[in-house]
A and B are shown apart, each in its own frame.
Chain A
């Protein structure tokens, strides 16, 4: 049932498949970035390493692919909180190679997670930082991944200007609203795992074209759970449902939220928590929706992969689980 695809080198810490599932990027504890490609595009049998190089001194904790509209590129998030962008290019009739095209980082805070999203005209990169700030960088030239500008910086709070002490965030999770090809406004959901309860709860941010600013349009937490630390968020692809679906994992379990399409007069979107599911004991590492947005796969500290679906009556439940076995 489980078909082996690849054996990874010692010290590999993270992996990420590109959008079409044809290339795998991995990062290691000693700063090695590796790229693997399928030998034969038609089959998904054997992967071969097409690039491997030490790109940093530190530990690569996460690799994120850039959308294919902007080429073959990955962002490496390092344990020291910097992010570097690597791109596969053939420049000036040189052979194809991976080159670093940009590095992001600041002395004051560490980047915990980044995700790329596309707006009408450009590529945006959201970075969630250890001081509780969210930075949105915008690509200036669609053919050059070198030139970025900071488009916005804000805190993950509903009421701007809220006063709280110095925030310390351990982890963050960002998920863009999956784009479906039609022109649409850009939105993402973001939650923190921090010592500051105001920052933690997952908020949906939407870009207000008219005023060129990011606005929180929904908060995905019950009143009693607003301070809960968020482990992971995942925005489901919407193939035509009248609502959006977002999964949020906290220590209380896995919540499935429906977000309505029509904002109220304050600009807030109606939200409804349709399920709170328990399964993973402890931290949830990752959540991924399948291409139809009907099945959610999760993995967490208990070492299990779990699949979640809704039945004909709209009741969410755990459909199956996979236990890692040697």
Chain B
């Protein structure tokens, strides 16, 4: 599961945290040996306490506290009290840098997504028909396309290109640094996805080893490392054929089928030199004869890679015919009388040995090859050159391991044995243990394409896993690894949404966990929610953002996000706060802010109650503010109109009647001109309201507004005076 080192099913215990992803059935003996990793924090003991917290994804933050040092002991000041460290539980493949991993992670998104959409397209097509399996004839072609896309991402760094003028003594060259990850991927592609090449599987394995033999050099002896060593001493060799290494390296290369290297090396033989040619005619003839036989070796394959030797034959009958002929030629040469005439002992023995290798002499092959995989591959070339089933390959591999036992296993060999043993669980476990969650999540597509059995095994929903399949589990695990990094979490949704059952649940949590403080990130989160129809999540995210801005004094943004979140409860509370300032004398500054808020709230929100009133109240308050001295009669009339409108309007809450009238005292007491501002009917309306208010005050639920105690009487008096003046006026 999420990036944790584990024990594998075979009881070998894991020693590196970098390889990860557990999920291997744990055997009882393995359970007793739990791997303990050091957690370096740099604090001197004693340690008083630890605190843990999961960060996003699968990084764990640990706080380590020392006991407080006693004050006055002289050391309390400046003493470190603890440390906080972050432990990343998946570091990926140590062969590959973080940046390269991210490149792979991003690069694999589109092949993965394309394959998923093809799968769903096919399953929707076959809906209702008898077969619900997505495997129609062309499925493996899609998987191959996917596999090739992924494989191209895994290439190692390109090595410096070769000089234009080729050095005749350079025996081999390489275009790129091979990586174990790519080797593992291609191995699975060979066995599971590439149905077209199934007939040439042994030859494909020969090519695979040619590409990746160098990888085994870390733990095993290899032909590649022998060649490299020999290449280094080559320039200093005077008489090459007298050096036993020359023959040894050549037979090793021949055993694993590197024909062009063998022929190139044979042509370095001293007998080819012009001054030697006349004395060593027979010797040279034998060398050349072997070189020709090597270069004419029949191969059961459609075509060879560019520049490679051997006769490629597509059809099996043709191949068998050519093979028999070739072997009879070798036998003929082997029995030839020229050997007696060849007086160079080294050359004679060396060439004879090469003939034995070509004739499939087990002993010679065993001596020539460096490890069991090479021996295994050599069998395909010289002993059983015909297609064989995976089960007999497995038996052969076991025989080879017996002949060439290994002291320390290489991570590719574990995978190879798992594949040959046709054990899907072991293959998955090896992938997970050695290459991490990325590999498992992606290679599982190859595995399911491999056989119906694997397909059923991996897609079956399991009670023990909480109702999900192994495929889904590994996608969840990989998505969690992606989530732990700020630069990769955005691609986690692609994998999560491909999970039928629990992906959306994890995606929701992932989105919740994203901080909302920065608008850019917030908008990205909301966009992801929109893409996957997670409206309740985005609404919650916007709510959190709204509260954050509101609390942090950015009232406008706060209200905006709360409106986006349609958070009726909080918006209502904000409207309530606005109501609370009705009737209070507020400063110009806060009036502006208050006014702005009403604008904001009013834009679309139907939820904030009594907003219509608030807007009218704002107009009233505005015109009232424009009556500073007692001169602007027009402003005053306008204010009166607003007041009347407000008082007439049924949406005006009763509890605001008195504060409104009290606010308008200067209008009621308008003394500037002969005429009062309010006419009789207007004054009567207000008086009636006042009367109604007096009745309402008798009810128990009446809330007394916080106004001076004489407020009511001063309003009443002002209205009465105004009524008198208005009556006289009319």
Contact = CB atoms under 8 A, between A and B. Distances in A.
B681 to A, nearest CB: 42
Nearest to B546: A69
Given A2-B87, A180-B509, A323 B39 contact: yes
Contacts of B5: 319-320
Contact of B65 (A2, A3, A12, A325): A12
Interface string A291-303: 1101101110001
Interface stretch (B78-86, B105-113, B203-211, B713-721): B78-86
B81 A291 contact: no
Contact of B41 (A9, A21, A285, A325): A325
A320 B68 contact: no
A81 B104 CA distance: 53
Nearest to B502: A240
Interface in B1-22: 1-2, 4-6, 17, 22
B431 to A, nearest CB: 14
A15 B68 CA distance: 15
B512 interface: yes
B683 interface: no
Contacts of A11: 68-69, 76, 81
Interface in A240-276: 240-243
A292 B476 contact: yes
B467 A241 contact: yes
A44 B513 contact: no
B4 A305 contact: no
Contacts of B122: none
A294 B1 contact: yes
B270 to A, nearest CB: 56
A322 B37 contact: yes
Nearest to B82: A8
Interface string A57-87: 0000000000011111000000000000001
Interface stretch (A189-197, A201-209, A215-223, A310-318): A310-318
A286 interface: yes
A17 B510 contact: no
A14 interface: yes
A239 B34 contact: no
Interface stretch (A89-97, A125-133, A157-165): A89-97
Nearest to B66: A10
A106 B69 CA distance: 31
Given A96-B553, A181-B512, A312 B40 contact: no
A210 interface: no
Contact of B467 (A89, A240, A294): A240
Interface residues of A, number: 91
Contacts of B467: 240-242
A152 interface: no
Given A8-B82, A286-B52, A312-B470, A305 B39 contact: yes
A151 interface: no
B515 interface: yes
A47 B83 CA distance: 12
B704 interface: no
Interface stretch (B56-64, B379-387, B601-609, B630-638): B56-64
B486 A43 contact: yes
A309 interface: yes
A7 B465 contact: no
Which of B6, B17, B26, B504 has most A Cβ within 10 Å?
B26
Interface in A5-52: 5-17, 19-22, 24, 26, 28-29, 41-44, 47
Contact of B513 (A21, A314, A319): A21
Interface in A142-183: 142-144, 178, 180-182
B37 A323 contact: yes
B547 interface: yes
B114 interface: no
B334 interface: no
Given A8-B63, A11-B68, A323 B80 contact: no
Which of B48, B63, B521, B536 has most A Cβ within 10 Å?
B63
A311 B509 contact: no
B509 to A, nearest CB: 5
A16 B81 CA distance: 16
B506 interface: yes
Contacts of B31: 317-318
B37 A17 contact: no
A286 B512 CA distance: 23
Contact of B24 (A24, A240, A311, A323): A311
A310 B6 CA distance: 12
Contacts of A326: 40-45
Contacts of B463: 314
A239 B511 CA distance: 13
A322 B41 CA distance: 11
Which of A15, A289, A297, A312 has most B Cβ within 10 Å?
A312
B378 to A, nearest CB: 37
Interface in B472-500: 476-477, 480, 483, 486-487
Contacts of B516: 20, 68
Interface stretch (B194-202, B216-224, B569-577): B569-577
A68 B41 contact: no
B513 A14 contact: no
Contacts of B49: 13, 285
B557 interface: no
A143 B2 contact: no
Contacts of A16: 51, 53
Nearest to A298: B52
Contacts of A4: 41-42, 83-85
A305 B517 contact: no
A285 B551 CA distance: 34
Nearest to A22: B515
Given A71-B551, A141-B573, A241-B466, A311 B22 contact: yes
A16 B501 CA distance: 32
A72 B37 contact: no
Given A297-B52, A311-B23, A321 B81 contact: no
Interface string B393-426: 0000000000000000000000000000000010
Contact of B36 (A47, A68, A71, A323): A323
B38 interface: yes
B297 to A, nearest CB: 46
A66 B83 CA distance: 24
A69 B2 contact: no
Contacts of B68: 10-11, 13, 28-29
Interface string B128-155: 0000000000000000000000000000
A238 interface: yes
A323 B65 CA distance: 14
Given A240-B466, A317-B26, A3 B37 contact: no
A292 B2 CA distance: 9
Contacts of A224: none
A14 B505 CA distance: 31
A324 interface: yes
B64 A324 contact: yes
11 contacts: A4-B84, A7-B84, A8-B63, A8-B83, A14-B51, A17-B61, A72-B548, A88-B551, A288-B53, A311-B25, A325-B39
Interface of A: 1-17, 19-22, 24, 26, 28-29, 41-44, 47, 68-72, 87-91, 93, 96, 121, 141-144, 178, 180-182, 237-243, 285-286, 288-292, 294-295, 297-299, 303-305, 307, 309-315, 317-326
Interface of B: 1-2, 4-6, 17, 22-26, 31, 34-45, 47-58, 60-66, 68-69, 76-89, 91, 425, 462-468, 470, 476-477, 480, 483, 486-487, 501-502, 504-506, 508-510, 512-518, 521, 536-537, 540, 543-544, 547-548, 550-553, 569-570, 573-574
Given A4-B42, A21-B54, 7 more contacts: A2-B62, A28-B68, A43-B486, A180-B505, A182-B536, A238-B505, A299-B62
Nearest 3 A/B pairs, CB to CB: A90-B553, A239-B505, A314-B464
